[in-house]
Amino acid sequence: MSTAQSPQPTAAPALRLNNIALAVANLDAMVAWYVDVLGLAIAAKGHFDTVGADYAMLDGMGFRLELVSRPGTPKVAAKRTPPPEHLDETGWKALVLESGDLAGTTASFARLGVEIVWAQAQLTPTISSTMIRDPEGNLIHILGQPE
């Protein structure tokens, strides 16, 4: 009789991304910004009784963004450490998207008055990027081809 044990799994089985959650101070304003600026669509809105939070699920570009806010509670603003020093703080850094027309996307952000951290910076020989902030200071990094 063998005493060998079955190998233990090294990862949780059958996981897949459901959404990316972002806590916000002003849910309505942030929903409007993500719809108007990034073109996401409202898939659902509601309230999580368990945590006392209102939420909106926004869909688009192959992912779902969950904006969530607990009304009536004090908020701690997102740090606005400028890149590249933001990489010296551990934790999630940015929502990273990709554009087939980085110049056009960047021009659209400028027309909409979006806060642009940098525009069309060449990161590597094959990747350029524009980095923006949403109204509450969260970073959004748009990758594209160098021109």
pLDDT tens digits for range 64-74: 999 999 999 99
Omega within 30 of 0 (cis) for the link into 135:
no
Radius of gyration of the chain (CA): 19
**Residue ranges in the chain whose pLDDT is less than 70:** 1-9
Q: Do 96 and 40 share a domain, yes or no?
A: no
Residue 7 lies in a domain: no
85, 147: one domain: yes
How many structural domains are present in the chain?
2
Q: Report yes or no on whether pTM surpasses 0.85.
A: yes
Domain-ending residue, one of 25, 42, 72: 72
129 and 24 in contact (C-beta within 8 Å)? no
Distance from chain centroid for Cα 56? 14
Predicted pLDDT of residue 3: 60
pLDDT at position 4: 63
The last residue of one of the domains, among 43, 72, 101, is 72
How much is the pLDDT for 69?
A: 98
pLDDT of amino acid 62: 93
Domain end among 27, 45, 72:
72
Structural domain that includes position 99: 79-147
91 in the same domain as 42: no
Statement to judge: residues 84 and 143 lie in one domain: yes
> Which pLDDT score is estimated for 78?
87
Are 107 and 44 in the same domain?
no
